[in-house]
Amino acid sequence: MELTVCIERERSTLQVQCTGTTVNDLLKQLQLNPEAVLVVRNQEVLIEKELLHEKDTLEILSVISGG
């Protein structure tokens, strides 16, 4: 499914063809550790098992910040 993904740490937005169906699948595809990110859709935080939908716009917030 096609997703729009805004990655906070890189200040970039990607169009991603997600091969899976869940948040966990997306993070694996993007090689991101769930320990290090929060995934947000329409200002709501999603857990790893949450199902994604075609044309979702997601923000991936970095947990690690600062020095």
Interface characters, 27-46, with other proteins (x: CB under 8 A):
------xxxx-x-x---xx-
Round to whole Å and give the CA distance between 5 and 14.
5
Compute φ and ψ for 43, nearest 5 degrees. 65, 10
The enclosing H or E element of 2 equals: strand 2-7
* 12 makes contact with other proteins (CB under 8 A): no
Between 16 and 40, name the residue whose CB sits nearer to other proteins: 40
For residue 37, give the nearest of 25, 47, 50 by alpha carbon: 47
* 25 makes contact with other proteins (CB under 8 A): no
Q: Which residues contribute to the site for other proteins (CB under 8 A)?
A: 8-9, 33-36, 38, 40, 44-45, 47-50, 61-67
